[in-house]
Structure 1
Amino acid sequence: MIAALRCIYQHAIADGFLPESANPAIRVPKPRRLASTRRALTDAQLSQVSAIASTTGNDPELDTLLLRLHVETACRRGGALALRPIDLDVEQCLIRLREKGETVRWQPVSPTLMQNLVEHGQQRGGEDRRGQLLRYRTGKPITRRRYDYLWERVGKHLPWVAIQGISTHWLRHTTLTWVERNFGYAIARAFAGHTGRNDAGSTSTYVRADIHEVATATAALTGENHPLVETSH
C-alpha cells in the first residue's frame, strides 16, 4: 500500500499538482519485507500432491499437465498462462516463457512434456497458434482460478497442504532448490529466469549459465535425454 501511495504522489508531483516538499508518502517508513515461509517440498509430499491432482477433480488431465509444467520448468503462473502453441519449439524441446517484468526466455523441457503440451493444444485449442495454450475441455482458456481450485481441492485431501498454504510457487522453490543443490547457483539462477543484477550482485555477471547447461539440469531432473545436451557434445 505504501509503495502504491508513493507512486501516486510521484505522479502528482511530476504532473505539477503538488510540490515535492508536500509529498507525505516519503515520510512514511516502508516495513521490511519478511522472509518467505515457502520451502522445497519433499519427494513424498510432491508425490502425494501429484496423486491427488491426477485422480480427483473435474479435469485431472489438465491438472496433471499443470503440475508437470511447473515442476519441470519452475515457471510462474503468469508464464504458464501466457504460453501459446507458437511458443513451443518441438524440435529442440524448448518453450518460450513470458513472465513478470516483461522477461522472455526459452526454457528446456523433456520430450514427454513437449509431447503432452502439443497434444493438449491440438485437442483443446484448435488452429489458433497465437491463442492461449492451456484450456479446459470446452476450449475455454484457463485463468488463475484454476490454480485456486486445484490447491483448494488438494488441501481437502491433504490437510498439510491447506494448513501450510501450499501453492504453485512452492513448486518453483522445490525445483530450483534441487537444481541449486545438484548443479550450483549459476545454473539455478538461469533455470529460474533471473536476469537482474539485484538477484545476485555483480558476481552473476561472470558466472552466467547458458541454455545447454539448463538443458543438462532438465535432463537430470526428468530422467530423459534432451536435444540440446546431445548436440552440445
Structure 2
Amino acid sequence: MLAGHFTTALIAKQKFPKGTLLYFLIISQLQDFLWFTFHYLGLEPTNPSDAFDATLSNMVVDMLYSHDLLPQLFWLAIVFLIGKFLFKSTTIGLVSIALVSIHFILDFFSGHMHHIFGADTMQAGLGLYASNPYLAILIEAIFSIVALWYFFSEEAKKGIIRTTKNRIAIISVFAYGIIFMLLIATESFRELFGIPEFDLGFNTNMPTLIFTYGAMLYCLNYFIPKFETKKE
C-alpha cells in the first residue's frame, strides 16, 4: 500500500496535535523507508532494477527486515522510544506504535508478500500485488476514500475551513498514488509506451519509488497545514 498509509498520518495528527505532521507521515511509511535503506545496504535487493520494466505484479523483493512480522517487534519498540522522547509524550509513543502496526495490517491485505521471518516461514500477507494487483489497488482506494472522508468530516466538526483548491490539492496527492499504481499494475511503462531497451548502468526503479514517496510526503506536509478556523 502506498497512498493509504499516508491517510493514517493525517488522522493521527488530527487526534494528537502534539505530534508534528511530518513525524506522523514518516512513521506511517516507516517500513517502506526502511525497505529503501535496506535495498541500498544489499539486505533487501529489489528487482527489476529498471523502472520502465517494473510492475506491481513482477516486482520481487524479500522484505525480511523491514516488513516481516518478527522484526516489527523491534521497530515498534524503536518508534515508541522515538515518539516518547522526541515529544516527551508517552501518548505519541503509543500512537507511533499504532501507525507502524496499521501499516503492517494494511500491507497484509494490499501489498507484497510478507512472512513471519524469512521466505521459508509462514506467510504473513495475502501477496495481492503479485496475485491480483487490481484487487489490491481497489482495497487501497476504498480505504483511502473512507479515511479522507473521515478526516475532512472531523475537520468540519471542529470548524476548520479549507478552500476548494486546498481540498483538491490534498485529494490529488492520494489520487496520484492510486493512478501511479494502476498504470504499473500489470504492464510496465516500457510495454505501455513502447519505450526501447537501453541500459543506464544503474538501478532506476528504487530512485523512482523514493521520488514518488518523497513528493507525496512533501505535498501533504505543505498542503495539510493550510487551513483556517471558523471564528466564533
TM-score (norm 1): 0.32
Between Structure 1 and Structure 2, the one with more strand by share is 1
Q: Highest Rg: 1 or 2?
A: 1
Name the structure, 1 or 2, with higher relative contact order (CA <8 Å, separation 6+).
Answer: 2
